Amino acid sequence: MSDATTTDLYEVTMALSYLRDGLTRPATFSLFVRDVPEDRGFLVAAGLEPALDHLSGFRVDAEDVEVFAAVLGRSPEDLEPLLGLGFTGDVRAVPEGRVALAGEPLLEVTAPLPQAQLVESYVLNQVNHQTTVASKCARCVLAADGHPVVDFSLRRAHGTEAARQAARLGAMVGFAGTSNVAAAHAEGLPAFGTMAHSYIEAFGTEEAAFRAFARAHPGPVTYLVDTYDTERGVATAARVLTDLGLGPGCAIRLDSGDLGALAVRSRHILDAAGLPEVRIVASGGLDEFAIDRLVRSGAPIDTYAVGTKVGVSADAPCLDSAYKLAEYDGRPVMKLSAAKVTFPGRKQVFRRPGYADVIALHDEPAPPDGEPLLETVMRGGRRTCAGTRRDRLQEAKRRFARDLADLPADARRITSPVPPRAVVSQQALDLAARVRRRIEREFLTDT
C-alpha cells in the first residue's frame, strides 16, 4: 500500500467515474486560503516540499487498488481503471517561505482530471497544516524582537511527523534550533536541550544534580532551576557554575511562575555572583502573545523556548483553505455557493510594493511594479527545482527574511494586526462575470 491511499474516499469514487466516462482532459485546481485567522496579519507559504515529494512519487499500484476495493466493498476488478495511475501534471506554486495573503493561490495543479482530483486531500493536508504552523512560528520570531527562539514542540505536537515539520518550519522563519534530535539531524539544525524536573528529583539535592550533569556533559550547561524554589535554584546554579569555573555559554531555564519577575530576580542573583554572561532561557506555555508581553516589559530573558501552543498553533489550529477546480479542458469554471464563490481560470499573483498584491489571470502581463509569486515547480510530473533538501530550506529562509522586512508594520503587529488585502485584476473580474452569466443561462434559468 502506497501513499496514494492517503486520500478521502470521494476522491477515489470521483476519479474512477472520470476514467470510466473519459473525463481525462487537463484540469487546473487552485489551492488558496479564504481568509486569515483572527489575530493574524499574514501567512507564510509552507508544505510545498512534501506535497511535491508526494506528487513526484505518486502511483496507484495493485495493492492500492485492493485497498480501494476493500473500503468500497467491491471487487478489485471494478477498480482496475485506477491501476497504474501516476501524476504527470504541472504545478505552479508560491515558493516556501514567502509571505502570502488571503485569497491568493498558494498552489495550482494542472493535470489530467483524475490525477489532479485524486491528490487533492494529501496536498491540502500538507499545505494547510504547514502554512498554519509556519505562520504561528513567524509571529513568535516577530514577538521575540531579535532574541533567539527554540522549538520544544515534540512532546505536544499532533504526532511525531508533525513535530518534525514544526522544527523545520520554525527554522525556516528564523528559529535558532530545536530540541527534536531526529529533526535536527535530518534538517541540519542546531539541537538544544536542558534537563527535566525528573532529573533534579532523582538526585538528593539540586546541587548534586547540577554537579552530576556538568560531569557528564563538560562544556556549557543549562540548569533547570524551578523544581523546588526558583530563586534558591538560581543561587545553587550560580554557586556550582562558579565552583566549576563555568560561565560563558551556560544558562539557567525558567519554566514556571511569573517568568518576567523571576527573570529579573534571577538576573540579579547571577550578576551578583559575577556571572553576567550566564543566559536566561524561558519556557512553559509560551507563544507570540506571551513573548510579546515579556519583551515589552523589559524582562531580561535571552532565549525563548516554545512548544505546546506553537507546535499545534493552539489559538488558530487550522486554515479555511480550499482546493477548487478553476478550469477543465480549457473551459473556465467557478463555484457560486453563498460565501464560497471561487474565481475561474488559471491565476498569477503579482506582489507590488507595500503588499498591494494583485490576483490576475495567468497570462496577464505583470504590472510595471509587480513581481509574479507563482513559479513552475513541477513539469510533467517532475520537479523543476534543483538542490538538496537542506539547500531548499536555506533558500526558503532567505525568502522569508526578505518578505518579512517589507511587510507593513500593521500586519506585523502581534495584537490586532491588519492583514493586507489583495485585489483582483479587471481581466479576472471580467472572466468571472462571463462565467457567471454562462452558468446562470445554462443551469439556473427556468425553462
Cα separation, 236 vs 223, in Å, equals 10
Q: Between the CA of residue 125 and those of 13, 131, 276, 320, what are the distances in Å?
A: 19, 10, 47, 12
What pLDDT does 304 receive?
A: 98
CB 361 within 8 A of CB 428: yes
Cα separation, 301 vs 194, in Å, equals 16
Amino acid at position 358, single letter? V
CB 7 within 8 A of CB 121: yes
Instruction: Walk along the chain (447 residues) and give the pLDDT tens digit of each residue.
Output: 789 999 999 999 999 999 999 999 999 999 999 999 999 999 999 999 999 999 999 999 999 999 999 999 999 999 999 999 999 999 999 999 999 999 999 999 999 999 999 999 999 999 999 999 999 999 999 999 999 999 999 999 999 999 999 999 999 999 999 999 999 999 999 999 889 999 999 998 999 999 999 999 988 999 999 999 999 999 999 999 999 999 889 999 999 999 999 999 999 999 999 999 999 999 999 999 999 999 999 999 999 999 999 999 999 999 999 999 999 999 999 998 877 889 999 999 999 999 999 999 999 999 999 999 999 999 999 999 877 888 999 999 999 999 999 999 999 999 999 999 999 999 999 999 999 999 988 877 765
Fold designation for 3-133+319-443: nicotinate phosphoribosyltransferase (3.20.140)
CATH superfamily of this structure's domain 143-311:
Aldolase class I (3.20.20.70)
10 Å CB burial of residue 122 (0-12, 13-18, 19+) is buried
Closest CA to 326 of 296, 346, 308, 306: 346
- Residue spans per domain, the chain: 3-133+319-443, 143-311
DSSP conformational letter for 219: S
Secondary structure percentages of the chain, helix, strand, coil, to 5? 45, 20, 40
Amino acid at position 3, single letter? D
What pLDDT does 185 receive?
A: 96
In this chain, the answer to whether the domains covering 3-133+319-443 and 143-311 adopt an identical fold is no
Residue 411, all three cell numbers:
500586519
Cα separation, 316 vs 186, in Å, equals 28
Closest CA to 218 of 250, 193, 192: 250
Per-residue model confidence as pLDDT tens digits over 216-235: 998 899 999 999 999 999 99
